[in-house]
Amino acid sequence: MATPLVELRGIAKTYGSGEAAVHALKDTDLRVYPGQVVGLLGPSGSGKTTLLNLIGCIVEPTRGRMDLDGETVYDNRWLKSDLRRLRLEKIGFIFQFHNLLPFLTAEENVAVALDLAGVSGAEARRRARALLDYLEVGHRRASLPSRLSGGEAQRVAIARALANRPRIILADEPTAALDSGRAGMVMDLLRRLALEQRAAVLVVTHDETIFGRFDHAVSLRDGQVEAGG
Amino acid sequence: MNLAVRDVRHNLGRFLLTCLGLSLLLGVVLSMIGIYRGLVDEALTLVRSPGADLWIVESGTRGPFAEASRIPGDERDAVARLAGVAAAGSLTFQSVETAHRGRTLRLYVVGYEPGRPGEPKRLAAGRLITRSHYEMLADRRAGLEIGERVRLGRDVYEVVGLTDGVVASGGDPVVHLTLRDSQRLQFELDPPAARRELARGGRPAGLDTVNAVVARVLPGVPEARVAAEAARWKHLAALTQGEQEGLLLKSVVEKARRQIGLFTAILMAVSAVVIALILYTLTMDKVKAIATLKLIGAPDRTIVALIVQQALAMGVIGWSAGTLLILLAKDHFPRRLLLLPDDALMLGAAVLVLCVVASGLGVRLALKVDPATALGG
């Protein structure tokens, strides 16, 4: 068996303290392997977003151990800049509402992620164009996000998430703003990326129409893995 | 990739409108500084106009500009005979108001002796006074033309020459008359008052009184030495040109300087608050974009640069437009507005510092934005 790209052991996250403490996640274990597309399912307040934020290095766990692509995160030696570097190099984010920067064109939205990673301007633009072409939205590269359709904007957002060839892709309700046809296209795309780039894809969703497209589904309830971890 | 430039480009209309507002504010600041400079320059113009090295005034007074000074007209000869003095001339100073061409004309009358110190050094048009009476030199600010006749007191004077930029510290244009004419204008009683004086047994008032005597010293002679010599006469006081200028600035311009300085400081504070609020609002509008940038790995310096660069761009554009505006409008101000390159550059530097400081609020907000804000709706 391959080494998991994401491995969580006994991870817990508590907000607040004392009587006001909210246990968003309790002793959660999870493994996601390269090439896998994993769904994180569960009702609102079950801890899906907290889990996504933890893996995305946005919030720090209260306890437990987390390994991302062979690196143990939050082992007391991690600085804010280390987390930023990890997010930049190894994690790609896809959002419910694409979250493209409104003042950048489609091409610039993709190139900015490369620019932040230190890729030179011309090379960043070349790679951004290639990615947009790959996602069949290259013809809209000069358009601002406000001029793109929902599906086009989501594909540009996916291109941005993939720009630095991340090993881990975190998608938060990526199909919520799309019709079923486009939702299916996006899921097909994520699967293709997982296989081609040997990436781990974690998708938080409420969308029952895509439940059948996961290799593996993790069901959460009240901050605990109910099934599938 | 410069995010600040792209953000500005995306919101160009709003950004330029903001810059325009800021430029008007900075234009007002610059005009206040220009008004102060103009005030000082105008005040000094009159003192420098005679080209004197020494001012001999009434003992115990600080000269004709700071307070009243009256000395006998023949003191000029005594001063002229002092060792080291090359030439001396008597001067009178007086404010007058007259009706001319249906409007009220406020003038500052300087009486001088043609050919002696006190005569205007440069004329913009026409000629110097050559006749003993009823000729005058007027500054262009008075709006008079050569050949025009103006009534002052009981006599009518013809404008024979024009000076440029010679005004009193209050902004009134200066007109030059011969000493005799100005003494009559200032000291001669009108006929009813003169008859009343005669009836009560009084003697006709002497006219040969002047407000100051100015002197030029010979090359190589220290002014202070000649001033000390003149001051030995108990009824006279002597000031060097430098002292006279210092006195004028201290006594006449000082309050205006403080007033304008305080007003300028208040305007700068208002500008700082306005810039800070604008930047804060601009940052508030970008919270989601900032969260997204942080989430995809943008370092703090990228976020800070986005805000600070916009602040600096706003400052530079606002300052440039404000300066241009005042350069175009300065000649339409009722009093002289003197724009010095150093003042404009100093203001520019202050605005840049102000922009960086004012962007602190926006930077603070941006740095506190949680990357998780980008997730979810």
Cβ contact, residue pair A112, B375, below 8 Å: no
Average pLDDT in the A186-192 region? Answer: 83
Cβ contact, residue pair B292, A101, below 8 Å: yes
Does the pLDDT at position B145 exceed 90? yes
pLDDT band at A229 (very low <50, low <70, confident <90, very high): low
Nearest neighbour of B289 by CB, restricted to A89, A101, A113: A101
DSSP letters for B313-351:
HHHHHHHHHHHHHHHHHGGGSSS-----HHHHHHHHHHH
pLDDT band at B218 (very low <50, low <70, confident <90, very high): very high
Picking from B50, B119, B53, the residue whose alpha carbon sits closest to that of residue B84 is B53
B292 at A interface, C-beta within 8 A = yes
Query: How far apart (Å, rounded) are the C-alpha atoms in residues A189 and A32?
Result: 18
* A 4-33: CB under 8 A from B: none
Q: Give me the percent of chain A exceeding a pLDDT of 90.
A: 10
pLDDT band at B190 (very low <50, low <70, confident <90, very high): confident
Per-residue pLDDT, A67:
87
B12 at A interface, C-beta within 8 A = no
A118 at B interface, C-beta within 8 A = no
Per-residue pLDDT, B341:
92
Q: Where are the domains of chain A?
A: 6-227
Contact call for residues A163 and B297 (beta carbons, < 8 A): no
pLDDT band at A76 (very low <50, low <70, confident <90, very high): low
Question: What is the CA angle A229-A180-A131, rounded to 5?
Answer: 80
Cβ contact, residue pair B374, A99, below 8 Å: yes
pLDDT band at B377 (very low <50, low <70, confident <90, very high): very low
Q: Where are the domains of chain B?
A: 3-43+253-374, 60-234
pLDDT band at B376 (very low <50, low <70, confident <90, very high): low
pLDDT band at B38 (very low <50, low <70, confident <90, very high): confident
The dihedrals phi and psi of A14, each to the nearest 5 degrees, come to -120, 130
pLDDT band at A144 (very low <50, low <70, confident <90, very high): very high
Does the pLDDT at position B205 exceed 70? no
Smallest Cα distance from B375 to chain A, Å:
6
Q: Give me the percent of chain A exceeding a pLDDT of 70.
A: 95
Average pLDDT in the B4-33 region? Answer: 90
A173 contact residues in B (CB cutoff 8 A)? 376
Query: How far apart (Å, rounded) are the C-alpha atoms in residues B95 and B182?
Result: 11
Choices 3.40.50.2300, 3.40.50.300, 3.90.180.10, 3.30.70.890: CATH for A6-227:
3.40.50.300
B285 at A interface, C-beta within 8 A = no
B374 at A interface, C-beta within 8 A = yes
pLDDT band at B284 (very low <50, low <70, confident <90, very high): confident
Nearest neighbour of A87 by CB, restricted to B6, B297, B376: B297
pLDDT digits (tens, 9 = 90+) for B306-363: 889 988 999 999 999 999 999 999 888 888 888 899 999 999 998 899 888 888 888 8
Smallest Cα distance from B351 to chain A, Å:
27
Q: For an interface test with B, give the residue of A50, A55, A58 to mutate (most B CBs within 10 A).
A: A58
Give the mean pLDDT of chain A. Answer: 84
Q: Where are the beta strands (DSSP E) in B10-143?
A: 54-58, 71-72, 85-100, 103-112, 125-126, 135-139
Looking at the predicted complex, does its ipTM rise above 0.90?
no
pLDDT digits (tens, 9 = 90+) for B244-273: 888 888 877 788 878 888 888 898 888 888
